[in-house]
Structure 1
Amino acid sequence: MTTGVEPDVPLARKRMLPQRYKVALLNWVSVYPLITLLLWVGEPITRRVPVYVTTLVLSLTLVCLLTFVVSPIMMRLFANWLQPGDEVSRDKAHLR
């Protein structure tokens, strides 16, 4: 199964990949609230442990949540926007 952002996967090469700025924007929109939530929830614990432990746990949690939960959901929700060529279709539909 591919999500459309794996440029080295042979199946992904057969179809057009989304533009990089769209993937970057979608990642940022996913990461910002998630990291804010993780920092807020983990704040009582992070005060008591060294910063390198906090960073290790936070980055591991963030990457796992993004990879297996958030990104697949966001890719499905924004699939139409991510697909190349949609701008042309939307522009033509808007002119009619």
Structure 2
Amino acid sequence: MSAHAVPSIHRRALITWVAVYPTITIVLALLRPVLKDVPLVLQTLILTAIAIPIVVYVLVPALMKANARLTARRSR
């Protein structure tokens, strides 16, 4: 795989948002019934403990690879 230019800060922000928003929405929807009586600070801790690894280790790398493929395809 050849080296590609690093995406702009704006594109990286969009890629991050595309990974974070649905992940938080899905995890929150799944956990809401279980955590309804848990204090908000603890809910947030649990939510982020689940969502952040998914985003950082799975979704952002996959989206960055997809972005690199799209960028390479456009530059041909």
TM range (shorter): 0.7 to 0.9
- Bigger radius of gyration among the two: 1
Alpha carbon RMSD of aligned pairs, Å? 2.2
Per chain length, whose mean CA-contact separation is higher, i.e. which structure has more relative contact order (CA < 8 Å, sep 6+)? Answer: 2
TM-score by length of 1: 0.64
**Corresponding position of 2:9:** 20
**Corresponding position of 1:43:** 32
TM-score by length of 2: 0.79
| % identical aligned pairs | 32
**Corresponding position of 1:7:** none
Unmatched segments (≥5 aa) in structure 1: 1-13, 91-96
Name the structure with the higher helix share.
2
Contact 1:22-1:82 at 8 Å conserved across structures: no
How far, CA to CA, are the matches of 1:47 and 1:36 in structure 2?
15
Question: How many residues end up aligned between the 2 structures?
Answer: 73
